[in-house]
Amino acid sequence: MTDPLVALRPWEAPEVTSWGRLPMNAAVRRPEARCLDGDWRFQLLPAPDAPLGDVWSSSQVPGAWTLQDTGDLPQYTNVRMPFAQFPPGTPAANPTGVYEREVEVPGDWVGRRIVLQVGAAESVLLVHVDEQPVGISKDSHLAAEFDLTDVVRPGSGSVVRLTVVKWSDASHIEDQDQWWHGGITRSVMLYATDPLHLADVTVRAGRSGELRIDCTVRDARGALPGGWHVSGDLEGLPLTQDAEFDRVNAEDERVSDFLGEARLHTTVADVRAWNAETPELYDLAVRLHRPDGTVADASHHRIGFRDVEIAGRDLLINGERVFIRGVNRHDFHPLTGRTPSGDDMRADLVLLKRFGFNAIRTSHYPNDPALYDLADELGFYVVDEADIESHDHAHEIADDPRYLNAFVDRVSRMVLRDKNHPSVVIWSLGNESDYGAGHDAAAGWVRRHDPTRPLQYEGAAKLDWAATDDASDIACPMYAPIEDCVAHALSGRQTRPLIQCEYSHAMGNSNGTLADHWAAIESTPGLQGGFIWEFWDHGILQRLSDGKPVGRAGTGLYGGGVAAPGHRWAYGGDFGETIHDGAFIADGVVFPDRTPKPALYEHREIAAPVRIEGVRHEGIVLGNHQHFRGLDWLAGQWELSLADGPGLTAPARLPDLPPGETAAVRLPFELPRDGGEAWLTLRVTTAEDQPWAPRGTELCLPRVRLREAAAREDSPADQPVEVDDEGLLRHPLLAAAPTLCLWRAPTDNDELGGIAARWRDWGLDALARTVVSVRRDGGRTTVDAEYAGTTGVVRHRQVFTAVEGGIRVDEEAELPDEFHDVARVGTVFETASGLDLLEWFGQGPWESYPDRSAGAPVGHHCLPVEELFTPYLRPQESGGRHGVRRFTLSAPDATALAVELDAPRQVSVTRFRAEDLTAAAHHDELVPRSGCVVHLDAAHRGLGTASCGPDTSASYLVPPGVHRWSWTLRGGRAAGGVTPAPAGD
Ligand code: GAL
Ligand code: MG
């Protein structure tokens, strides 16, 4: 006999969003749930209607079967669907996982209402119990509940079968930019309630302390009994039942006899309002009583009192126009795919707090329920996004009536689940699905059901940021150029807040111009922030020997951003997929193991709660840039760095400063008269333990220059400078002489933005050097050379002069107009091996670039050469340090090579040539050279974000024409020290 659930072919029926599924709700119980996680019997069928075989393997729940050696592997596509069929069609080859296990139903559940909850299954779930069809669910990132009261018998066992069909009509609206998986990715449980139960609880709590709780009540046995009632308490203090509602079930004819409603209320005096800085939560318990007063059901919540509203073009939290320092976050894990643990999610949020974020967009689906509890507790403003993205067929689907129900279903279920979280301040209708009637229908539902929160949808607002009648209360563009945002805010046409739902694409070495974005946001009324794309690099840990994902066995096989030897972070194409979008899946501010990328330090500084506003004769002016808090939770230390002298440190006393205000404070020391260039940094840490940072955690490093560098003169010396007939400098510590370089290993932004293709066209990656002349004149040698590309020739001059203890190199390069936008103009040389430690005076310690240098203070820094390099998943330009004035590379035996620069310059010291980086597709393919590859750049192009969004701005481009720079090389070999590296190949 054909199974009725299969006969219906629900995987190609968008009208069918569920069957037999219970309504979503926000009642939070602490039931004696039976957790059904663990190993289930498992078969992977080739299609949903294929017959079940006799052989079972096993699969872990929760988990993606694509990471469990089942033969079906992860596949990464961005926009395009991984199969050719148009919506609602599916491919004939449609992996279908059948999960089965025995479930013991406790004997004392007799007379109870028994519910099965499946946390998440993608993309269609069919439920059978003892071969009886029980239900169907779609909506891969929300739980589905089924009433099993009539199909199981307490005291005996039942066989629960969960069939999960991978491809369906729903896949076409779950076409988010991420890995495709199959499986049950959140926990499964069985629990019991009284038949008389809380069907839903809705909490409304404003910053004035007013609390209102609406309960709906049902009785699974049929009509409600007379005399039931609810009670509640907040932090142990009883709430009042609303008079208007108190007899709601008994005699009030307005109410049906099967659906009860009751309202509780109170006003909390001196309430401690919730906001992302001080996320104050209160314990709420709501109880449903049987007529005899005994408790039939109870729901527990941690609630926050806060207001969210839009006033004019401002989004206000508790009346304050807060800046939204957000990030887009997927539920991701490099071993389990989509199943982060509670500890994982806490670690994500703790890291975000430490790096200055206060907001999360749950791109692009409702996240694990635990995420919202953590956001409530730790303090984040959440844009909660429905699981709708039809990117590949967006236009066809947005108005397709067959999908209408799915749109409303997905949005409404999200709202019904998450409405009681203070952290959720905005609902989002989904992502990249064009704009159609489906959206308007869903928007209508939300605005009716929850008028307390704004709604956003990029696809609606993008048609006209200034519109007032679409499905979005916020203009929430993605990757809009800063100038466009500012122009809109200044146009007089702005009607609603402008908060970018995605900006500053973090793929590879990126996030250039982040500080410029924020300078504009903070100075332009009407601009309020945005959400960086994105948190994670979604690399999956892969074994190189057999190409398989390592799965849960990979615990500990990574660290510091890199996979252990024999492994790598897989991206699109690495599992043999023919249709894929490569490394575009690696575009986060953290590596797959959550190691922060340097861009995070940039963000941390831009978001600094306390800043140095300037220097006045009364002292250093500090400003409090928070919205709700003083500075009392912070501690500070002054650090004075002198270019030519020992530094000074002293504790800083932070003033008592309300949000938005400034005050001048005196430095506890005098600036020494000598020592040259002087920088003052305020190292700000947590003064007390915070839930997300122990006492002493560094939060920001605001700084100011107190004295400019003095001009320096090198005294001429008599010793000769050795330059060969090719005009190449010879030096015992150099393995390759300094030559001109205009090229960098293209970053993802360079490649995807099309910039690198231009550089290749111009031949910048293989300039041909010809020496024109070598003129020797006493202690000075002048070398003229030409560097020919395919379209232009660069004239380059190096003047080598012997100076006290070293060689001064004055360089000049003249770029033809054809080379109007190059990666860099500078010097590259290679050192002998053994020089493994870099000390520098300049910006650091983190990697920084001209348009991403706000995070790195000027001072003396020191790191082993290995640690200077950032292991981006796809190798590219990496490891640069901005604003370097001088540096020393040294060996343990004190052999050292020192470089003094004429001005703060971009410098990089790595083990790789640009061509080494360009040739490798994954970090593990790189073979470090024994010496160092050193770049000193007169000019270096900004990073921008052109892999998806605006390129860097004009001021960070490297123009044609004449560039001049000078540097002095000093160094010597101590006995038995450094060996020259092989010069070439
Ligand atoms: C956006 C999209 C994201 C992601 C990003 C590029 O357009 O909403 O899901 O694809 O581009 O990484
Ligand atoms: Mg997309």
pLDDT of 671 reads 94
Q: How confident is the model at residue 28 (pLDDT cuts 50, 70, 90)?
A: confident
User: Ligand 1 pocket, 432 CB below 6 A?
Assistant: yes
Banded pLDDT at 985 (limits 50, 70, 90): very low
Atom of ligand 1 nearest to the CA of 364: 9
Q: For residue 363, give the ligand 1 atom closest to its CA.
A: 9
- For the chain, what's the residue count? 985
Atom of ligand 1 nearest to the CA of 584: 12
251 in helix, strand or coil?
coil
Amino acid at 438: G
Span of 589-593, 674-678, 775-779, 836-840 with lowest mean pLDDT: 775-779
The single residue of 174, 261, 432, 847 carrying the catalytic annotation is: 432
The model's confidence at residue 258, banded by pLDDT at 50, 70 and 90, is confident
Q: What is the mean pLDDT of residues 719-727?
A: 93
Which member of 261, 502, 639, 751 is catalytic? 502
User: Is residue 678 classed exposed, middle or buried when 0-12, 13-18 and 19+ CB atoms within 10 A define those classes?
Assistant: buried
CA distance 803 to 343: 59
Q: Which helix (H) or strand (E) holds 179?
A: strand 178-180
Beta-carbon contacts of residue 546 (< 8 Å; ≥ 6 apart): none
Q: Is 78 in the pocket of ligand 1 (CB under 6 A)?
A: yes
Identify the band that residue 131 occupies on the pLDDT scale cut at 50, 70 and 90: very high
Q: Which residues contact 735 (CB under 8 A, 6 or more apart)?
A: 830, 831, 832, 833, 931, 980, 981, 982, 983
Q: Using one digit for the tens of pLDDT, what is the confidence trace for 61-74? A: 999 999 999 999 99
Residue 1: predicted pLDDT: 58
Report, as an integer, the average pLDDT of 476-492: 98
153: which DSSP letter? -
Print burial letters for 102-129: b (CB count within 10 Å at least 16), e (below 16).
ebebeeebeebbbbbbbbbbbbbbbbbb
Q: What atom of ligand 1 comes closest to residue 501's alpha carbon?
A: 8
- List the beta bridge partners of residue 279: 274
Closest CA to 513 of 523, 505, 524: 505
Residue of 667, 540, 582 whose CA lies nearest to 181:
540
Residue type, 115: V
The closest residue, in CA terms, to atom 4 on ligand 1 is 177
Give me the mean pLDDT over the 141-164 stretch: 97
What are the pLDDT digits (tens) for 655-691?
Answer: 999 999 999 999 999 999 999 999 999 999 999 999 9
Q: Is 432 a catalytic residue?
A: yes
Residue 256 in this model has a pLDDT that exceeds 80: no
Contacts (Cβ under 8 Å, ≥6 apart) of 776: 723
Segment 873-901 shows an average pLDDT of: 97
Interval between CA 584 and ligand 1 midpoint (Å) = 9
**Cα 279 to Cα 281: distance, rounded to the nearest angstrom:** 6
**Which of 29-38, 757-766, 845-854 shows the lowest mean pLDDT across its residues?**
29-38
* pLDDT in the model for residue 796: 98
Q: Which helix (H) or strand (E) holds 796?
A: strand 793-803
Q: CB-hemisphere CA count at 13 Å for 249?
A: 25
Given a cut of 60, whether residue 416 has pLDDT beyond it is yes
Choose between 257 and 868: higher pLDDT.
Answer: 868
Structure tokens at 423: 């952290």
Structure tokens at 975: 């006995």
Cα 174 to averaged position of ligand 2 atoms, centre (Å): 10
pLDDT tops 60 at residue 978? no
867: pLDDT confidence band, cut at 50, 70 and 90?
Answer: very high
Whose CA is closest to 857, among 619, 679, 648? 679
Pick the more confident residue, 379 or 977. Answer: 379
The predicted structure's pLDDT at residue 984: 40
Find, among 50, 39, 135, 59, the residue nearest to 95 by Cα: 50
- Mutate-to-test residue for ligand 1 from 387, 391, 948, highest number of ligand atoms within 8 A of CB: 948
**Is pLDDT above 90 for 940?**
yes
For tokens 């449903």, what's the residue? 288
Q: Check whether the bond before 746 is cis (ω within 30° of 0).
A: no
The alpha-helical segments, DSSP class H, found in 156-254 are none
Give me the pLDDT at residue 642, please: 97
With a cut of 70, say whether residue 982 has pLDDT above it: no
Average pLDDT over residues 325-337: 98
Looking at residue 42, its amino acid is F
Ligand 1 neighbour 587 (Cβ under 6 A) = yes
The region of weakest confidence among 240-244, 262-266, 628-632, 911-915 is 240-244
Strand runs (DSSP E) across 933-977, as ranges? 933-940, 961-972
Average pLDDT of the segment spanning 954-968: 98
Q: How far is the CA of 632 from the centre of ligand 1 (A)?
A: 39
Query: Which position has the token pair 């509203």?
Result: 309
Interval between CA 392 and ligand 1 midpoint (Å): 13
**Parallel, antiparallel, or unpaired: how do β-strands 144-147 and 698-700 relate?**
unpaired
Q: What pLDDT digit, counting tens, does each position of 498-551 carry?
A: 999 999 999 999 999 999 999 999 999 999 999 999 999 999 999 999 999 999
156 and 260 Cβ atoms separated by less than 8 Å: no
Q: Which protein residue's CA is at the shortest distance from atom 3 of ligand 1? A: 177
> Mean pLDDT in the chain?
95
d(CA 575, ligand 1 centre) in Å: 22
Task: Calculate the alpha carbon distances from 900 to 267, 740, 909 in Å.
Answer: 67, 18, 15
Ligand 1 probe mutation, 178, 478, 502, 505, most atoms within 8 A of CB:
502
Rounded to the nearest 10°, the torsion over CA 696, 701, 707, 712 is 100
Query: How does DSSP assign 14-64, residue by residue?
Result: TT-SEESPPPP---------EE--EEEEEEEESSTTSPP-S--EEEEESEE
Give the tens place of pLDDT for each residue, 464-475.
999 999 999 999
Residue in 235, 506, 500, 275 with CA at minimum distance from that of residue 375 = 275
Query: What pLDDT is attached to residue 974?
Result: 60
Block residue for tokens 């991984």? 82
Determine the distance separating the centroid of ligand 2 and the alpha carbon of 437, expressed in angstroms.
20
Confidence (pLDDT) at 333? 98
pLDDT class of 574 with cuts at 50, 70, 90 = very high
Nearest CA to ligand 1 atom 2: 177
> Would you say residue 189 has pLDDT above 90?
yes
Helix (H, G, I), strand (E, B) or coil at 599: helix
18-32, 91-105, 254-268, 385-399: range with lowest mean pLDDT? 254-268
> What's the rounded Cα separation, in Å, for the pair 473 and 471?
7
Query: Who's near 96: CB < 8 A, 6+ residues apart?
Result: 44, 45, 46, 47, 48, 50, 163, 164, 165, 166
Buried b (16+ CB within 10 A) or exposed e, 457-495: bbbbbbeebeeeebbbbbbbbbbbbbeebbebbeeeebb
For residues 519 and 882, what is the distance between their CA atoms, to the nearest angstrom? 20
Rounded distance from Cα 394 to ligand 2 centre (Å)? 10
177 ligand 1 Cβ < 6 A? yes
The rounded radius of gyration (Å) of the Cα atoms in the chain is 32
C-alpha separations of 259 from 118, 243, 250, 297 in Å:
25, 18, 12, 15
Band (243; pLDDT cuts 50, 70, 90)? low
Q: What is the pLDDT of residue 508?
A: 98
Q: Any long-range contacts for 909-913 (C-beta under 8 Å, 24+ apart)?
A: 909/838, 909/865, 909/868, 909/879, 909/933, 909/934, 909/935, 910/865, 910/868, 910/869, 910/878, 910/879, 911/865, 911/866, 911/869, 912/745, 912/869, 912/875, 913/830
Instruction: Check whether 246 has a pLDDT greater than 60.
Output: no
The confidence score (pLDDT) of residue 247 equals 46
Would you state the structure tokens that stand for residue 393, as one six-digit string? 């067929």
Distances, alpha carbon 439 to alpha carbons 143, 398, 403, 412, 605, in Å:
22, 7, 11, 12, 38
The H or E element that residue 603 is part of is: helix 599-606
Whether 266 and 233 have beta carbons less than 8 Å apart is answered as no
The response to whether residue 948 sits with its C-beta less than 6 Å from ligand 1 reads yes
What does pTM read for this prediction?
0.97
pLDDT tens, residue by residue, 268-327: 999 999 999 999 999 999 999 999 999 999 999 999 999 999 999 999 999 999 999 999
Tell me if residue 502 is catalytic: yes
- CA 643 to each of CA 669, 805, 884: distance values in angstroms, whole numbers, following the listed order: 17, 19, 11
Distance CA 794, CA 768 (A): 10
Does the beta carbon of 478 lie inside 6 Å of ligand 1?
yes
Beta strands, E only, 536-693: 540-543, 558-559, 562-563, 567-570, 610-616, 619-624, 634-642, 645-652, 662-665, 678-686
State the helix-helix crossing angle for 401-418 and 437-449, rounded to 10 degrees.
30
Q: How far apart are CA 423 and CA 378, in angstroms?
A: 9
Nearest bound ligand to the CA of residue 175: 2
